[in-house]
């Protein structure tokens, strides 16, 4: 019986140590320069429905079910999706718009795992009629996900999708 108590105590200590050293937050972002002025880029980027044309996730599940509430491009607009295992289920709600500068949104993921993040797009003049677009998101890891984040690199998991999406956005806007 004592051996079982020691084993359980050891496992609990390991879990506590892992939770203490695990990252509590994550942040991922990517950027690209588009050969169009921000007055053209920003209106396109702020419209959530336009993501259907450049988002890597729409390409991973062209049959995903989507619903919308509110006015696209304005605070409060909500896009919800339910798709295959590659895109999962969740929603995105615009929380702030600073015209020709920034769009903030709140992301809720229900599947494949529950989590919440804050996403953003920024645009800034890059000179010579070009625009730098940054796509990012950040969030907090909650227990027990904090321990999993010791083994999962969010930058590697999501970064490639951001790069693909921004490259698609560039192709569309420069066409």
- Backbone phi, then psi, for 137, in 5-degree steps? -155, 160
Q: Are 122 and 134 in contact (CB under 8 A)?
A: yes
C-alpha closest to that of 67 among 53, 51, 82: 82
Q: Are 29 and 122 in contact (CB under 8 A)?
A: no
Residue 136 has pLDDT above 90, yes or no: yes
pLDDT at 147 (0 to 100)? 65
- How far apart, in Å, are the Cα atoms of 128 and each of 4, 14, 125, 131, 171? 70, 55, 9, 9, 18
pLDDT at 149 (0 to 100)? 66
Q: In this structure, which CATH number among 1.20.120.790, 1.10.510.10, 3.30.2350.10, 3.30.530.20 belongs to the domain 25-174?
A: 3.30.530.20
Q: Look up the pTM and report it.
A: 0.83
Q: Are 133 and 113 in contact (CB under 8 A)?
A: no
Residue with tokens 């797009």: 121
Domain ranges for the chain: 25-174
* Tens-digit pLDDT profile for residues 44-102: 999 999 999 999 988 889 899 999 999 999 999 999 999 998 889 999 999 999 999 99
Residue 28 has pLDDT above 90, yes or no: no
């Amino acid at each position: 019986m004592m051996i079982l108590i020691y084993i359980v105590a050891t496992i609990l200590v390991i879990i506590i140590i892992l939770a203490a050293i695990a990252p509590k937050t994550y942040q991922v972002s990517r950027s690209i320069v588009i050969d169009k002025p921000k007055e053209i880029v920003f209106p396109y980027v702020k419209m959530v429905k336009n993501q259907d044309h450049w988002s890597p996730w729409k390409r991973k599940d062209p049959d995903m079910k989507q619903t919308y509430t509110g006015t696209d491009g304005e605070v409060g607009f909500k896009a919800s999706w339910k798709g295959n295992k590659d895109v999962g289920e969740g929603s995105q709600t615009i929380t702030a718009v600073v015209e020709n500068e920034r769009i903030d949104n709140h992301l809720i993921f229900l599947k494949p795992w529950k989590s919440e993040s804050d996403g953003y797009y920024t645009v800034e003049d890059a000179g010579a009629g070009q625009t730098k677009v940054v796509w990012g998101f950040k969030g907090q890891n909650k227990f027990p996900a904090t321990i999993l984040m010791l083994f999962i690199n969010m930058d590697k998991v999501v970064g490639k999708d951001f790069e693909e999406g921004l490259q698609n956005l560039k192709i569309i806007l420069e066409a």
